[in-house]
């Protein structure tokens, strides 16, 4: 195949000439090892033959340095922390940030892709989103690197992902409550389809088993990470004839919803029920009482995602496609030893 105008050479062009898929060419460009030596040599020969150079934020005529940051929704302080981390790194690198929300709607995603083509960003960061095959293929065709923060499910092997040690955090939270003497520990889970939510749930189960406690399915409720579900599910648990003496909610927002459920029943935190959260959002520190929680380094996750996207845009390799930053138990005043509880018949 002969290409007369180098400006027409794209990853798709190289893939067709090599007889391989577009993602395979992308893996070769990113230095991934999961490509056979024969295929790698053929692709690299074609890349050199056609003078292909990967686009980055400083190479293209008329291009400005931009990072696209894409959320499903922007209605949570959790998102603000991610934005803060990305913006700090982008600003220090002289790069702008474009924040979008696609609201889980295909039409909104198509509109975002159309806007992306017009501004030609250096890189894209998806947050708590599922990177569809259609979007992945289009980004590869455009030569725009992508990083996923807290992926909903398993991402493609060549897409870098940034997360936190959610399983270890769920384990640590449950162990903390068990060490305080609690035996009936309720759990309010996040969305079933979200990978970090499932990991926290698994950590809760592991913590119960490690403490020699039976996992009581009647003390487990399904939430969605937001305040209202924490309030509704917390009210259900506290209305039981044998309510839990402690509740671990898989997000700070749900934990604060449990606060409200307890208040409306005339119960006090932690005197009548210990409450544990997950995230360590700024509001956790200023709640009454201050919330004991598991800190996941949201700003740091956003910052690392931005640095990774910018490195990929410059043609650098990423050695570890999956990175998990450590979570940490933050002790405040919403949990207390079981012996402080009034009127409980729990043995």
Q: How confident is the model at residue 209 (pLDDT cuts 50, 70, 90)?
A: very high
> What one-character-per-residue DSSP string does 196-222 give?
HHHHHHHHHHHHHHHTT----GGGEEE
Find, among 123, 122, 127, the residue nearest to 148 by Cα: 127
Find, among 151, 165, 163, the residue nearest to 326 by Cα: 165
Span 2-11, mean pLDDT?
Answer: 49
Which residues, in sequence order, are CB contacts of 109 under 8 Å at separation 6+? 102, 132, 135
pLDDT digits (tens, 9 = 90+) for 157-195: 678 999 999 999 999 999 999 999 999 999 999 999 999
pTM (two decimals): 0.80
Q: What is the pLDDT of residue 61?
A: 33
Structure-model confidence comparison of residues 141 and 170, the more confident one: 170
| CA distances to 12, 136, 146, 188, 192 from 215, in Å | 52, 40, 39, 13, 18
Inform me whether the pLDDT recorded for 1 exceeds 50: no
Residues in the chain, how many? 347
Which residues does residue 186 pair with via DSSP β-bridges, in sequence order? 247
The mean of the pLDDT values for the chain is: 87
Neighbours of 342 (CB within 10 A): 8
Structure-model confidence comparison of residues 270 and 151, the more confident one: 270
Contact 152, 128 (CB under 8 A): yes
Inform me whether the pLDDT recorded for 89 exceeds 60: yes
Inform me whether the pLDDT recorded for 60 exceeds 70: no
């Amino acid at each position: 195949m002969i290409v007369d105008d180098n400006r027409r050479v794209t990853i798709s062009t190289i893939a067709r000439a090599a007889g391989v898929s577009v993602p395979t060419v992308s893996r070769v460009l990113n230095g991934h090892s999961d490509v056979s030596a024969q295929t790698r040599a053929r692709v690299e020969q074609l890349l050199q033959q056609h003078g292909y150079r990967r686009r980055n934020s400083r190479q293209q005529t008329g291009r400005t340095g931009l990072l696209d940051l894409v959320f499903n929704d922007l209605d949570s302080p959790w998102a603000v922390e991610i934005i803060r981390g990305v913006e700090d790194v982008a600003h220090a690198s002289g790069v702008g940030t474009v924040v979008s929300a696609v609201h889980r709607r295909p039409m909104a995603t198509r509109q975002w892709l159309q806007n992306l083509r017009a501004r030609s960003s250096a890189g894209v960061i998806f947050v708590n989103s599922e990177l569809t095959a259609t979007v992945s293929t289009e980004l590869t065709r455009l030569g725009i690197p992508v990083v996923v923060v807290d992926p909903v499910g398993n991402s493609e092997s060549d897409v870098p992902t940034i997360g936190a040690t959610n399983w270890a955090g769920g384990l640590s939270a449950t162990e903390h409550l068990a060490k305080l003497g609690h035996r009936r520990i309720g759990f309010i889970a996040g969305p079933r389809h979200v990978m970090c939510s499932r990991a926290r749930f698994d950590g809760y189960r592991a913590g119960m088993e490690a403490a020699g406690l039976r996992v009581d399915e009647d003390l487990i409720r399904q939430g969605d990470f937001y305040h209202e579900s924490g309030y509704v599910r917390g009210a259900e648990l506290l209305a039981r004839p044998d309510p839990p003496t402690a509740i671990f909610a898989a997000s700070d927002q749900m934990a604060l919803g449990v606060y409200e459920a307890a208040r409306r029943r005339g119960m006090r935190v932690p005197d009548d029920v210990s409450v544990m959260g997950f995230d360590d959002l700024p509001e956790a520190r200023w709640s009454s009482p201050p919330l004991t929680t598991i800190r996941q380094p949201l700003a740091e996750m956003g910052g690392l995602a931005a640095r990774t996207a910018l490195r990929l845009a410059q043609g650098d390799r990423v050695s570890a496609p999956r990175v998990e930053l450590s979570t940490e138990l933050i002790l405040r005043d919403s949990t207390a030893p079981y012996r402080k509880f009034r009127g409980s018949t729990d043995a």
